[in-house]
Chain A
Amino acid sequence: MNDKAPRLLFEKSRPGRGTDVIPRSDVPDRPLDSLLPASELASNLVPLPELGELDVVRHYTRLSQLNMAIDSHFYPLGSCTMKYNPKRNERLASLPGLASVHPYQDESTLQGILELLYDLQGILGEIAGLDAVSLQPAAGAQGELAALLTAAAYFRDRGEKRTKVLIPDSAHGTNPASAHLAGFDAVTIKSDSRGLVDMADFMSKHDDQTAVFMITNPNTVGRFDPQVVEIARALHDRGSLLYLDGANMNAILGVVRPGDMGVDLMHYNPHKTFSGPHGGGGPGAGPIAVRASLAPYLPAPIVVKRSDGVFALDYDRPKSIGRTRSFFGNVGVLVRAYCYIRAQGPEGLRRIAEHAVLNANYLLALIKEEYPVPFGDRCMHEFVASARGLARDRGIRAFDIAKGLIDRGFHPPTVYFPLIVSEALMIEPTECESRETLEEFARALLEIAAEDPEKLHEAPVTTPVCRPDEVAAARSPILIHPEASRAGIER
């Protein structure tokens, strides 16, 4: 990484500079105030920066070089499944016949994309072991919301008023946030000493007011909770539903189907499991799959295949919860997921889970002496190591380890999550990485454990910036460039 920090777009602006993108008008010129009410016309131009095309190209090229990314670095960010994003999928999703399709075209002009989406609904249903799929939600968190609203509508339709959603303390923060937004009380279930659901706590909190239990399995400490079968049975006995947070589907593709373990509804994160590029923080998608009894309440529309073989959008779903977003869904992400799944086939999908789990266990084995893993020395697709001992004995905290890894050319794992492990390092290597990369990463971790703590506290030293002051940023927030002119530019 180059050391020179780039100036902001606004600092590069020069009055009078511009580009030639937009042509001259070829329709009769009329005074604008004869077309639009003068009172609504802006007197000035919007104060955007004035740049030439080369300015823009250099600027963003330079910014890109300040990032670590999968294309350039090992990126074992736990829970985010940072796997290789195949280049072919980018090219295919950009085909004009997919990228230039308007959402309100007539269905007769959409038969290709509707067929693809119809097939994807079926494939996601099969992988889930569930009956019906909505591709609409825009992200995993929106999938959670859509599924919980679906569950609420299901209970309402049955004349039941259930108020509680049970959520393990190891769950992603989106789970309780979504439950709250869907109108439920989020009730926390403790984890036991193995990092699994504390069954006594679950049993004491599960009652007739319980609508849904939201489980992540494998969970965020990377363990498969075998109690899921028992949990599902207990829930179903009292009419409650079991939800699966599908963030960790990469670990069980083709090995265990959520429906077969008693799950009634779930969301997928196709940007994780099916390799949609994470885009510096999105876009994702959040399709949901449910049992047949919940299907009438899913968001509309759903893609259907009519008896004459024509694909159509079914809006006629009177019990549907409605829409969670505009238009069909994050189709670009779904197309990439489809391409990814089609490149794998049944054997390939299972192989993903196998190698994701193999890689995680290998890495765990390489580092567990220096970085204890509180919840056992076997894991699924990821594991959570603790730097508690290093922090106590040598003053090396998870935070320092992250910064030391950056200097050694690795993106750090997720740190300080889940909250139930102190000094947590949540490591997810994915199936895509080679044995050599895992070994290099392990060597870096071991080297850091033996490093002079004082030196580590100065890390990173290879990046343009070192340890930004996050407290100051939050105390007196500067959220836009203070010197970017507010005043409009004269027309």
Chain B
Amino acid sequence: MAYILNTDDDVALMLRRIGAGSIDELFAAAPESVRLKRLLDVPPALGELELTSHVTAIAARNVGADSRVCFLGGGAYDHFIPAVVDQLAGRGEFYTAYTPYQPEASQGTLQAIFEYQTLVARLTGLDVSNASLYDGGSAVAEAALMARGVTGRSGRIVVAGSAHPESIQVLKTYLANLETEIVVVPQRDGAVEVSEVAGAIDSRTAAVIVQQPNFFGVIEDVSAIVAAARKAGAIAVVSFDPISLGLLRRPGDYGADVAVAEGQCLGNPLAYGGPYLGMMACRESYVRKMPGRIVGQTVDHHGKRCWVLTLQTREQHIRREKATSNICTNQGLLALRASIYLATLGPRGLARVAELSTRKAHYAAERLASVPGLSLAFDRPFFKEFVVRCSVDATSVLAEVGRRGFHGGVALKRFFPEMEDSILIAVTEKRTRDEIDALAVAYDESIRAVRS
């Protein structure tokens, strides 16, 4: 009787009060013809001890970042998660509550979201933030939808081909039936040309989307792209890496209108891709077109400061098909973790994470570039991620590197068939000099092994 408290006596008494002869009778509204006449064909029940053994055995068949040194990135990163994040966000009062519809019963969640919104606004240098979206990819799509609403233009969305390929795929999926042309400006040698982006913008363009640092880790000339977008009356959307803002200029500092991000890196586990955190900040004037939950400050009956869900007339439960988005939930628990992470690190901690990641990435790039058979793919500035080209088959080399105890990088062939010799390598503050040196040795040995 997993998780059910009613005893047989309870059931008998309850049925009597209801006036039903059996539980089955309560399902009378469902016609016999559609009732399942057998038990579901699912595996038998496991008690807690058996379930623990079963799932532990499954987990043991994965080889994660806990057992191989992880140099994988591409939007999900092995940054350090301070213990306070797990301990505090793991409190049942947070994770077993729901959307704060009843403000008096939810001031904890509401204040935490209001603080999250403030943290994101300060992080991005923009005016306002929502309570979060699903993930980085759908945040890009939601930004495009919002730009259509703000500008009244729906003809075209221009996106840098150096943005995360999955973000571009999500954008295309979301807008597939909305008669908006999506123009992907090709990346050339790991970045987009400003002139090519500017050339793609027309008078029907609602948004120009660029990622900084881009999918290859490269620093784009984002100020010029933002300027080109704004000059044409389009919304400039920047997809950013939250960690990078410990060092790099904030989207608001260089004139971006909307900033979106994958917030996994802010204290959220890798967890094979989700749940993650979609972040979105923008100019105050767009707020009534913004998707998702938003918390606002107000006063209560006695004049006391407090927080509520607000601007709900944008949302689907009020506006139905006229809503700014179909989104119903935020990623409350992940946003909470991001807030605790940022509060724990503070301005100096975030700067150190960014600084260590970039220093170590540059050290790694230098070490790997000296390995025979490896070379840096692009002569461009990068943040914590870079691309190497491999003179022998990249997939085989990565398999060899794996056998030596490393998740050595992401083969880019899966996203760009023409980049079959390229590997994307990410380095966070967690990686030590020894691990980086050992990675270089592993690549050296692996390339020799594949050659021979």
CA distance A42 to B250 in the complex (A): 7
Query: Do B114 and A481 have beta carbons less than 8 Å apart?
Result: yes
The answer on a CB contact under 8 Å between B316 and A479 is: no
State how many angstroms separate the Cβ of B216 from the closest Cβ of chain A: 14
When chains A and B are docked, how far (Å) is the Cα of A84 from the Cα of B318? 29
Q: Mask for B262-278, Cβ within 8 A of A = 1, else 0?
A: 10000001111111100
* B418 on interface, CB distance cutoff 8 Å: no
> Could you say which of B168-176, B185-193, B201-209, B438-446 contacts chain A?
B168-176
Which listed residue (A62, A84, A173, A357) contacts B315, Cβ 8 A? A173
* Residues on B with beta carbons closer than 8 Å to the beta carbon of A57: 84, 87-88
Using known A-B contacts A40-B219, A49-B343, A92-B51, determine if residue A5 contacts B305 with beta carbons closer than 8 Å: yes
Q: Does B257 contact A (CB under 8 A)?
A: no
Q: Write out, one digit per residue, whether chain A residues 353-376 have a CB within 8 A of any chain B CB (1) or not (0).
A: 011011101101110000000000
Interface presence of B391 (CB below 8 A): no
- Does B99 lie within 8 Å of A67, measured CB to CB? no
Q: State which of A127, A176, A339, A473 has its C-beta within 8 Å of the C-beta of B320.
A: A176
A474 touches B40 (CB 8 A): no
Across the interface, do A254 and B317 meet the contact criterion of CB distance under 8 Å? no
Which chain B residues border A50 with CB–CB below 8 Å?
346-348
Knowing A183-B178, A331-B273, A465-B300, the reply to whether A177 touches B325 (Cβ < 8 A) is: yes
- In whole angstroms, how far apart are the Cα atoms of A183 and B46 in the complex? 44
Distance of A478 Cα from B158 Cα, bound (Å): 32
How close is A207's CB to chain B, nearest CB, in angstroms? 19
Report the bound CA distance from A108 to B61 in whole Å: 9
- Whether, in the assembled complex, B345 has its beta carbon less than 8 Å from a beta carbon of chain A, the answer is yes
Contact between chains at B104 and A327 (CB < 8 Å) = no
Q: Is B370 an interface residue (CB 8 A)?
A: no
A345 to B3 Cα, complex, angstroms: 13
Q: Is the CB of B42 within 8 A of A126?
A: yes
Q: Which residues of A in the span 59-75 have a Cβ within 8 Å of any Cβ on B?
A: 59-73, 75
* Interface presence of A316 (CB below 8 A): no
Complex Cα spacing A175 to B436, Å: 50
A287 CB–B CB distance under 8 Å: no
Query: What is the bound-complex CA distance between A103 and B429, given in angstroms?
Result: 19
> Are A48 and B347 interface neighbours, CB within 8 A?
yes
Whether A327 lies near B276 (C-beta < 8 A) is yes
A318 at the interface (CB under 8 A from B): no
When the two chains form their complex, are residues B84 and A141 in contact, meaning their CB atoms are under 8 A apart? Answer: no
With beta carbons under 8 angstroms apart, the residue of A61, A102, A333, A460 that contacts B78 is A102
Instruction: Considering the complex, give the chain B residue whose CB is closest to the CB of A226.
Output: B31
- The answer to whether B300 and A342 have CB atoms under 8 Å apart is no
Q: Do residues A327 and B323 form an inter-chain contact, with CB atoms below 8 A?
A: no
**A100 touches B (CB below 8 Å):** yes
Chain B: which residue is nearest A97 at the CB level?
A: B59
Name the contact of A63 in the complex, choosing from B48, B78, B111 (C-beta under 8 A). B111
Residue of A28, A35, A62, A256 with most chain B CB atoms under a 10 A cut-off: A35
User: Which residues of chain B are within 8 angstroms of A60 by Cβ–Cβ distance?
Assistant: 88-89, 91, 94, 112, 340
Could you say which of A98, A350, A466 has the most chain B C-beta atoms within 10 Å of its C-beta? A98
B140 to chain A: closest residue by CB: A326
Residues of B within 8 A of A59 (CB): 343
Q: Is the CB of B45 within 8 A of A348?
A: yes
In Å, the complex CA distance between A144 and B138 comes to 14
Interface membership of A110, Cβ < 8 A: yes
Assuming the A-B contacts A256-B30, A322-B169, are A109 and B84 also in contact, with contact meaning beta carbons closer than 8 angstroms in the complex? no
* Residues on the A chain within 8 Å of B349, using CB: 18-19, 21-22
* Candidate in B92, B246, B293, B432 with the most chain A CB atoms within 10 angstroms: B92
Query: How far is the CB of B167 from the nearest CB of chain A, in Å?
Result: 6
Asked if A348 contacts B2 (CB within 8 A), the reply is: yes
A104 to B322: give the CA distance in the assembly, Å. 37
| CA of A247 to CA of B204, assembled, Å | 39
A344 to chain B minimum Cβ distance, whole angstroms, is: 6
Give chain A residues whose Cβ lies under 8 Å from the Cβ of B379.
none
CB B448 to nearest CB in A, in angstroms, measures 20
Q: Is the CB of B326 within 8 A of A181?
A: yes
Interface residues on chain A, size class: 35 or more
CA distance A63 to B272 in the complex (A): 30
Task: List residues of chain B with CB within 8 A of the CB of A449.
Answer: none
B206-241 vs A, Cβ < 8 Å mask (1 yes, 0 no): 000000000000010011000000000000000000
> Nearest B residue to A116 by beta-carbon distance?
B58
Q: For residue A341, which residues in chain B have a CB less than 8 angstroms away from its CB? A: 42
Contacts A63-B111, A277-B96, A342-B46 given; indicate if A110 touches B62 (C-beta within 8 A): yes
Question: Contacting A378 at CB < 8 Å: which of B29, B76, B136?
Answer: B29
Contact call A48/B123, Cβ cutoff below 8 A: yes
Nearest B residue to A323 by beta-carbon distance?
B169
Q: Which chain B residues in 303-322 approach chain A with CB under 8 Å?
A: 304-308, 310-313, 315-322
Question: A102 to B332, Cβ gap below 8 A?
Answer: no
Residues B51 and A342 in contact, CB atoms below 8 Å apart: yes
The smallest beta-carbon distance between A10 and chain B, in angstroms, is: 7
Q: Report whether B3 and A432 are in contact in the complex, using a CB–CB cutoff of 8 Å.
A: yes
Hey, which chain A residues are within 8 Å of B300, CB to CB?
465-469
Q: Pick the most buried of A62, A123, A181, A352: most chain B CB atoms within 10 A of its CB.
A: A181
Closest Cβ neighbor of A315 among chain B residues: B414
Q: Decide if A159 is an interface residue (CB 8 Å cutoff).
A: no
The reply to whether A53 and B108 contact each other, CB–CB distance below 8 Å, is no
| Contact in complex: B271, A56 (CB < 8 Å) | no
Would A56 and B18 count as touching, CB distance under 8 A? no
Closest A residue, CB atoms, query B76: A103
**A331 in contact with B274 given A21-B82, A97-B66, A481-B118 (CB within 8 Å):** yes
Do the beta carbons of B43 and A101 come within 8 Å of each other?
no
Residues on B with beta carbons closer than 8 Å to the beta carbon of A351: 1, 4
Indicate whether A394 reaches chain B with its CB closer than 8 angstroms: no
Given contacts A69-B93, A279-B95, A325-B138, contact A30 B18 (CB under 8 A): no
B95, A85: Cβ atoms closer than 8 Å: yes
Residue B407 at the A interface, CB < 8 A?
yes
Rounded to whole Å, the gap between the CB of A297 and the closest CB of chain B is 11
Assess the B344–A380 pair: CB atoms within 8 A. no
Instruction: Kindly specify which of A197-205, A236-244, A385-393, A483-491 makes contact with the partner chain.
Output: A483-491
Residues of B within 8 A of A39 (CB): 223
The answer to the question of B449 belonging to the interface, with a C-beta cut-off of 8 Å to chain A, is no
- With a cutoff of 8 Å between Cβ atoms, the chain B residues found around residue A435 in the complex are 5-6, 10, 13-14
A471 to B422, CA, bound (A): 56
Docked-complex contact A224 and B43, CB < 8 angstroms: no
Q: Which residues of the other chain, B, contact A491 by a CB distance below 8 angstroms?
A: 351
Q: Residue-by-residue, is B53-80 near A (CB-CB < 8 Å gives 1, otherwise 0)?
A: 0111111111111111010101110101
20 A-B residue contacts at CB 8 Å? Answer: A6-B111, A22-B80, A25-B355, A45-B246, A45-B350, A57-B88, A64-B93, A96-B66, A100-B78, A279-B94, A279-B334, A282-B330, A323-B169, A325-B137, A349-B42, A380-B29, A434-B6, A435-B14, A480-B117, A480-B129
Contacts A60-B88, A329-B274 supplied; 10 other A-B pairs, CB < 8 Å? A40-B249, A46-B245, A53-B84, A106-B402, A108-B399, A127-B42, A335-B55, A342-B43, A466-B301, A480-B114
Question: What 9 A-B pairs have minimum CB-CB distances, sorted nearest first?
Answer: A183-B177, A327-B273, A97-B59, A345-B45, A279-B333, A71-B92, A112-B61, A283-B275, A326-B137
